[in-house]
Amino acid sequence: MKHHRVVERPLGQILMERGIITNAQVQEALEVQKKEGGLIGDIIVKLGFAKEEDIAQCLSLQFGFPYLPLENYEISRDAAQLVPKTVAEYYCLIPLDKIENTLTIAMANPLNVQAIEDLEDSTKCDIQLFISTPSDIRKSIERFYGDAAKK
């Protein structure tokens, strides 16, 4: 996998710098995270402080993977056949395309190294990563794998 340069700023700080949330909202989200666990981006969305797109774009900045909205993206059958629906749902990712030995995927959590390693092992492909929102990915899984089941 091609590793990207990681920006050494926390997600909350990037969101504040972009004027999306306030310091008080970051602190509140961190308190919730301490009590309940989970990803800070998901907590910020759940609290209603930011939209999923805001989080995905900031993760893209933070980790250097491009953000890709999936609404009108055409998913390649060859790519999708490499990843079972259960795996896509479990890791919240969707295979997009396969060119030679590179499988392009969109996922909500680019820090899930386990997911990327599992895909590399099971597909024998190099993984190219894009970031997308969890609901975009879930809709794409439903749209693609649902349609595939009907054919």
Q: pLDDT for 36-67, tens place per residue?
A: 998 899 999 999 999 999 999 999 988 889 99
Does residue 70 lie in a domain region?
no
Count: domains in the chain: 2
Does residue 68 lie in a domain region?
no
Among 39, 42, 53, 44, CA closest to 21? 44
Question: Which pTM was predicted?
Answer: 0.82
Percent of the chain with pLDDT over 90: 70
Per the structure, the complete domain to which residue 135 belongs is given by 77-150
Does residue 30 lie in a domain region?
yes
Q: Are residues 88 and 140 in the same domain?
A: yes
Residue 10 confidence class, pLDDT cut points 50, 70, 90: confident
